[in-house]
A and B are shown apart, each in its own frame.
Chain A
Amino acid sequence: MKISVDFDLCKSNAVCMASAPEIFEVRDDGYLYILQEEPDETHRQAVEEAASLCPTRAITVEG
């Protein structure tokens, strides 16, 4: 599974962090960081939930 975020769309509202804190983190600088771009399968459900709940539809999960 490979995660990418369209940073032109991302609004750093950290909704993804609520679903998958091990993968996404919005830091004090106001930017979103992807902590693991290719996480193992144990994270799939959390990552897919994050992608569906992202208000700007900025997260893409491939594979």
Chain B
Amino acid sequence: MERIAIVGASLAGLRCAESLRREGFTGALTIVGAEEHLPYDRPPLSKEFLTAEFEAERLALRAAPYEDLKADLILGQRAQSLNLEARSITLASGGEVDFDGLVIATGAAPRSLAIADGISGVMTLRTLDDAARLKAAIEERKRICVIGAGFIGSEVAATARGLGLNVTVLEAGDQPMLRGVGPIIGETLAELHRSNGVDLRTGVEIESIEQIGEEVRVNIAGEASVDCDLVLLAVGAAPVTQWLESSGLTLDDGVVCDATLLAAPGVVCAGDVARWPNPLFGGESMRVEHWTNAVEQGMHAAKRLLSDDESAPEFSTVPFVWSEQYGIKIQAAGRFSGEDRMEVVHSGTDDARLVAIFERHGGISGVIGFSEPRRVMQYRRLIGAGTPFDEALGASL
């Protein structure tokens, strides 16, 4: 393999490039990224970045000089299409990049709502540019309405509260963040927002959004409308696969790969865009939109591309996400839902601490913790080791 192209110059793409070099790939390496910026980190964008003190240099994903990577970095250029037979990518500028091996790491982009189209006071958050716009708006305005109480919506709500804004959160589901995990966790999460002064409304149906001069009005079915100065639309993200529509690759809420992250001969995927059967969970088809997964898959995709088909290792992981809100670390790993058996295995004297584990098919399948990073990680290891639930329950962690 002489030429490798990586599309998507962010976490998964960069970590893949670094691993390719570490694994001894000495051929030509091209990285194409739609954003103008050098690869940067997204998690701070909904947290510290929005506060005044944060220095933007801390976002850089690579500390070592880029020259050391010996890669041709094409930034501010979107890949438009992929021709697998010709082994070539066409860029928006019309230029072409030929390759022997390809890494798809185009991530995900915020979903939109038709009722929010064309309303100037409505923002989404994914990129550094989005975050800079949001930060400027937060500095000037007093009332924010967050639509969608997933991770990003909840984090922005918490950060904005910390900055003294008036915050309303509107959620279609009946609890924020970890949807459908059952009443105990759901109520803890909801209470976290409410006790910090957020007007959290769950189970709402938004009928329309209007821009009235400088103000935005969000109209809700059967309830009083919300007047605010800006709206953050945080209703989830969709994998960026439009550019692959004519490629012949299988697309199904992500690029469909095999267990080794291979999507087609010489084509691998990594990060938010990748869908693969996770061997650790009986081959359950997963697409994970979390940080550690993007790093792990980026590193794995490099190894996969350089190995032959017979010896290619499978990619398995216990999905893990961390979040920080109101100074509390919320961490979750594995699989869980309101239908699974759940046991609270630890709760601290101050009620901000809690660890709950979940059971599927007799084994421990998931863990959720509040301000309990050590225990979450220990249970995560038990999940990875396929530990029977009763054994996990008895483990004194």
Contact = CB atoms under 8 A, between A and B. Distances in A.
Interface residues of B, number: 23
A43 interface: no
Main secondary structure of the interface of A (DSSP, over half): loop
Contacts of A41: none
B360 interface: no
A26 B329 CA distance: 13
A26 B295 contact: no
A31 B58 CA distance: 21
A40 interface: no
A34 to B, nearest CB: 14
Interface in A1-53: 9, 11-15, 17-18, 21, 25-28, 30, 52-53
Interface centre among A11, A18, A21 (most CB of B within 10 A): A18
A15 B322 CA distance: 9
Contact of A15 (B299, B377, B378): B377
A55 B61 CA distance: 10
Interface in B368-393: 371, 373-374, 376-378, 380-381
B331 interface: yes
B288 to A, nearest CB: 14
A13 B295 contact: no
B324 interface: yes
B321 to A, nearest CB: 10
B63 A57 contact: yes
A53 B296 contact: yes
Given A12-B373, A14-B374, A55 B322 contact: yes
Interface in B270-314: 291-292, 295-296, 299
Main secondary structure of the interface of B (DSSP, over half): helix
A9 B48 CA distance: 12
A26 B374 contact: yes
Contacts of A12: 329, 373
A55 B380 CA distance: 17
A25 B375 CA distance: 10
A14 B376 contact: yes
Contacts of A13: 322, 329, 331, 373
A28 B374 contact: yes
A15 B292 contact: yes
Given A15-B322, A53-B292, A53-B295, A27 B380 contact: no
B292 A26 contact: no
Nearest to B371: A30
B374 A55 contact: no
A14 B292 contact: no
A55 B292 contact: yes
Contacts of A55: 41, 43, 291-292, 322
B172 to A, nearest CB: 29
A14 B329 CA distance: 11
Contact of A14 (B43, B324, B377): B377
A53 B299 CA distance: 10
B324 A11 contact: yes
A17 to B, nearest CB: 4
B193 interface: no
A51 to B, nearest CB: 11
B299 A18 contact: no
B15 interface: yes
B295 A21 contact: no
Given A12-B329, A26-B377, A30-B371, 19 more contacts: A9-B58, A12-B373, A13-B331, A14-B373, A14-B376, A15-B322, A17-B374, A18-B320, A18-B377, A27-B374, A28-B374, A52-B15, A52-B295, A53-B292, A53-B295, A55-B41, A55-B43, A55-B291, A55-B292
11 contacts: A11-B324, A13-B329, A14-B373, A14-B376, A15-B322, A17-B378, A18-B377, A21-B377, A21-B381, A52-B295, A52-B299
Interface of B: 15, 41, 43, 58, 63, 291-292, 295-296, 299, 320, 322, 324, 329, 331, 371, 373-374, 376-378, 380-381
Lowest 7 CB-CB distances: which A-B pairs, in order? A14-B373, A14-B377, A17-B377, A26-B374, A18-B377, A13-B322, A26-B373
